[in-house]
């Protein structure tokens, strides 16, 4: 009951937040600012996003590689785009599309279990990186160096222990999550109940790699996504004519990450209000804050559109394979 009330409050807040975000915007000025962006600026931002999206998919590729699975990197990038699209349009833009990523990744060489567990490992590492950045920025912003020493270092130590000194398959939460994914991907027959489906599923013995070099690479990979995100923020503001420093970019990144965990598709309303609130805190011109919102939304819409189109293509291909199997049977 409390969860339902909270969700209603969140969704009812969306119109107010949009109104609050847009009420002081001079759209003619914003449109004039957009039209004055050079072709060079637009091309650089596009190329950066293409490169960044590809780089952020390397970790899953590497995890599969460690399990002896070879899948073309372009293929995994397409699956990541599909996952992003469905995560974006479902409540909470951080999760939701993983089930489709797993489903469409299955091949003769890639089993359901390996795909599920490696993708889950990838997501765990990404979340660890996000939380580490959030803890660090908040600690430094409010308590300076002493805050970083008391919070960031212990948190990083937990991540190190998790990767280097624990067996991944030993965590109940991991087992439950993998079973949840496998259930939806594998067991399509609605006649089976949830518990019957769970009993049929087999969880593979997948853990962190034995090589400490590989584990070190995975540990360092938690910084990849935050670093790319900070570079994107710095690039946008500096290339459009307003310079900001790394700390400002980190504050903006934290706002983006926090709003992404709100159970609203695309964090509509919350993202806009959060960025404008951050602009006020950082003394950024309102025009540039709104320009950044427009840029991010445009980028996301393009990526979501491509992801949805690719998912339709994958679904038609998957159904075609199923029909061929049925005919042969």
Note down the domain range covering 197: 40-269+283-319
**Tokens (6 digits) for 208:** 């962190």
**pLDDT tens for residues 174-186?**
444 455 555 544 4
**pLDDT tens for residues 134-163?**
888 777 777 776 766 677 777 777 777 777
CA distance 164 to 174: 17
Whether 261 maps to a domain, the answer reads yes
Whether 292 maps to a domain, the answer reads yes
- The closest alpha carbon to 121, from 16, 222, 265, belongs to 222
pLDDT at residue 306, as a whole number = 93
What is the mean predicted confidence (pLDDT) over 83-89? 87
Whether 49 maps to a domain, the answer reads yes
What is the mean predicted confidence (pLDDT) over 207-216? 77
Rg (CA), the chain: 22
pLDDT at residue 265, as a whole number = 83
Please state, as a whole number, how many other Cβ atoms lie within 10 Å of the Cβ of residue 1: 5
Whether 117 maps to a domain, the answer reads yes
Whether 20 maps to a domain, the answer reads no
State the DSSP code for 288: H
Give the residues across from 265 on adjacent strands.
91
SS3 263: coil
Instruction: Give the residue, 20 or 267, on which the prediction is more confident.
Output: 267
Please state, as a whole number, how many other Cβ atoms lie within 10 Å of the Cβ of residue 281: 13
Which residue carries 């660890």 as its tokens? Answer: 128
CA distance 90 to 178: 20
Give the chain's mean pLDDT.
77
For the chain, first and last CA: distance in Å? 48
Whether 33 maps to a domain, the answer reads no
Domains contained in the chain, number: 1
Whether 142 maps to a domain, the answer reads yes
**pLDDT tens for residues 28-58?**
777 777 777 888 888 888 888 888 888 888 8
- The closest alpha carbon to 236, from 3, 52, 21, belongs to 52
Helices (H), 165-285: 172-186, 194-200, 212-221, 224-239, 246-260, 270-281
């Amino acid at each position: 009951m409390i969860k339902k009330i909270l969700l209603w409050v969140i969704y009812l807040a969306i119109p107010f937040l949009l109104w609050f975000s847009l009420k002081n915007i001079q759209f003619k000025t914003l449109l004039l600012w957009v039209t004055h962006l050079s072709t060079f600026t637009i091309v650089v931002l596009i190329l950066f996003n293409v490169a960044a999206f590809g780089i952020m998919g390397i970790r899953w590729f590497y995890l599969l590689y460690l399990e002896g699975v070879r899948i073309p990197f372009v293929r995994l990038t397409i699956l990541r785009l599909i996952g992003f699209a469905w995560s974006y349009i479902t409540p909470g833009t951080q999760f939701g599309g993983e089930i489709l990523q797993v489903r469409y990744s299955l091949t003769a060489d890639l089993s359901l279990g390996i795909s599920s567990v490696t993708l889950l490992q990838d997501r765990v590492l990404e979340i660890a990186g996000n939380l580490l950045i959030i803890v660090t920025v908040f600690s430094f912003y409010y308590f300076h160096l002493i805050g970083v020493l008391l919070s960031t270092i212990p948190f990083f130590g937990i991540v190190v222990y998790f990767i280097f000194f624990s067996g991944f398959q030993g965590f109940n939460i991991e087992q439950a999550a993998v079973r949840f994914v496998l259930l939806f991907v594998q067991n399509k027959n609605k006649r089976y109940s949830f518990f019957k489906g769970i009993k049929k599923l087999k969880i593979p013995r997948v853990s962190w790699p034995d090589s400490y070099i590989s584990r070190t690479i995975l540990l360092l990979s938690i910084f990849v996504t935050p670093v790319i995100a900070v570079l994107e923020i710095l690039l946008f503001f500096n290339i459009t004519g307003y310079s900001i420093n790394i700390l400002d970019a980190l504050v903006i990144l934290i706002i983006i990450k926090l709003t992404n965990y709100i159970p609203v598709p695309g964090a509509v309303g919350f993202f806009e209000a959060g960025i404008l609130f951050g602009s006020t805190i950082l003394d950024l011109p309102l025009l540039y804050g709104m320009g950044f919102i427009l840029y991010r939304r445009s980028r996301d819409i393009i990526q979501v559109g491509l992801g949805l189109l690719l998912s339709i293509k994958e679904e038609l291909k998957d159904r075609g394979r199923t029909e061929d199997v049925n005919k042969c049977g």
